[in-house]
Amino acid sequence: MAATQQIDSLWLGADIVTMRDGRYNLVPDGALAVNKGEIVWVGPRGALPPFSARQQRTFDGGIVTPGLVDCHTHLMFGGDRSLEFEQRLNGVSYAEIAGQGGGILATVRATRAATERQLVEQARVRLARLLAEGVTTVEIKSGYGLDEASELRLLRAIRALAQTVPADVRATCLAAHGFPPEFTHQPQGWIDIICERLLPQVKAEGLADAVDAFCEHLALSPAQVSAVFDKARALGLPVKLHAEQLSALGGAELAARYGALSADHLEYATEADVMAMAQHGTVAVLLPGAFYLLRETQRPPVALFRQHGVPMALASDANPGTSPALSLRLMLNMGCTLFGLTPEEALAGVTLWGAKALGMERTHGSLEPGKVANFVHWELQRPAELAYWLGGQLPCQVIYRGDAQ
């Protein structure tokens, strides 16, 4: 007879949606055993080994999913751009708004003027909305400082926020989001600062888990992205890229050649981009919030991603200008209705593939022994309901690192 194993907690009474291999892989009437914040066993309740649990929780039906992963956000910024949203809907062009000092530079000014404490508290309010809907892992980018001191302050603010919330927070340095107004006529000067001063300091202080850039005709060229990525790689920092959102510049293919964790947006990605991503294991991160708010019509090539076996993640892209989205669950529905994903693909996009887009798939994103015990109990009958219901906060119980929140 097997010896009884002492564990911290046992979770029973619900169907378990493991998301192993990116599929539902549902276990009816399942059981989860947790010890020291890690899953030690998952399977049918009837096959449960002899555990002795310090705490046992039996749900009254419903489903359990992995904790949700929001792998692309810009939650750390000052101010908001609701006035511009209203102006655009009243017929004011983006060029006119920019000419009045609006657009991304409005956010840059507000962010530069904010203290680290103010930035942390404002981001905490936004993040709380995501956590209430089952998010347990989130990536937050810098990118609205666009000067050395402000970018470092943003990254320090992200690290400070991470110490005070029940979520695993990854920080990404997006200093290459665009060019500061001070460098409008000398863009290479900002690239030099990023490469020669900013990234080495970010690495030395451990302020970021990855480096991102925005490759677009209104942002960085492929050559400028390459310079940033060369430095990131030399420092041992993983890379990812905003690519092919508004035009086809070959950014996704470039990112894949650098072994990027992900290429994000991808509305204008070509088959060459997709094949390169498949070859190098780069995840496609789809961002339907920005697609929706900008009223775009060019959809990312989902059929090509399926054909070539490129994993598709979904994220909120929460930002003040193009995706003021505070519901990752809404992105599940948008991913299905706007991009043609199945509910299973959408859920995989905010669990296992979202984790892979952050380089965390070995420890996060599915319910398997050896992974962290981040999971959510939903009062639902089928996992497709997560993508089906529009609006409202679905009742759920979040378990982070084995502890109920």
Q: Binding site membership for Fe(3+): which residues?
A: 72, 74, 242, 317
Burial of 151 (0-12, 13-18, 19+ CB in 10 A): buried
Rg for the chain (alpha carbons), in Å? Answer: 21
- Whether residue 16 contacts residue 26, with contact meaning beta carbons closer than 8 Å, is answered with yes
Looking at 153-301, which runs of residues are DSSP E strands?
A: 168-176, 210-213, 240-243, 262-265, 283-286
CA max distance for the chain: 77
Beta strands in 223-278 (DSSP E): 240-243, 262-265
Which residues contribute to the annotated binding site for N-formimidoyl-L-glutamate?
144, 319, 321
Q: Which amino acids are annotated as binding site, given as ranges?
A: 72, 74, 81, 144, 177, 242, 245, 317, 319, 321-322
Q: How far apart are CA 37 and CA 9, in angstroms?
A: 9
Phi-psi sector, 201: left (phi>0), alpha (psi -120 to 50), beta: alpha
Strands 68-70 and 135-141: parallel
The token pair at 168 is: 């695993």
Closest CA relative to residue 215, chosen from 269, 170, 164: 269
Q: Report DSSP state, residue 297.
A: -
Which residues carry a binding-site annotation for Zn(2+)?
Answer: 72, 74, 242, 317
Amino acid at 57: R
How many C-beta neighbours within 10 Å does residue 174 have? 26
Taking the C-alpha atoms of residue 338 and residue 11, their distance in angstroms, rounded to an integer, is 36
Amino acid 261 reads L
Which residues participate in the annotated binding site for 4-imidazolone-5-propanoate? Answer: 81, 144, 177, 245, 322
- The closest alpha carbon to 260, from 192, 345, 176, 359, belongs to 359
What single letter denotes the amino acid at residue 67?
G
Distance of alpha carbon 18 from alpha carbon 352, whole angstroms: 10
